[in-house]
Amino acid sequence: MVGAETGICPRSILSALVYREKLGTTAIGNGIALPHATVDQLQQTTTLVASLEQPVDFDSPDGREIDIVCIVLGAPESQGSYLGAIRFVTETLNQNADAIRGAQNIGQLEAAMAASREAAA
């Protein structure tokens, strides 16, 4: 799905994420994981949020299984944007985890994420 959005080979994206994950878990607690990496072919920071039907073990610091995943991909040339996106997404997911978990469709998921964007503005 991220590959289709970015036009980048999914294997390149997966490889970058797996490489980053080997450095240490990207689980942040509260059932949330934030896999992130830079991808050479990428022109701008891209994110993808998913709520999982079945939680998975992700070596979370609080031991909780993960049911919310947000992938953040950044362009090597735009580290500021990439790091800013990671900070923003971390705060947004922590503040809106219950609304994200309760979302029944993409509109509700977008509304949960938009609430934090509006509060930040």
Q: Give 72's contacts (C-beta < 8 A, 6+ positions apart).
A: 34, 35, 36, 45, 46, 47, 82, 85, 86, 89
In angstroms, the CA 49 to CA 27 distance is 14
36 tagged catalytic: yes
The active-site residue, picked from 16, 26, 35, 36, is 36
3-class state of residue 72 by DSSP: strand
Residue 96 is which amino acid?
N
Instruction: Locate 64 and state its tokens.
Output: 């909780």
Residues annotated as catalytic (active site), given as ranges: 36
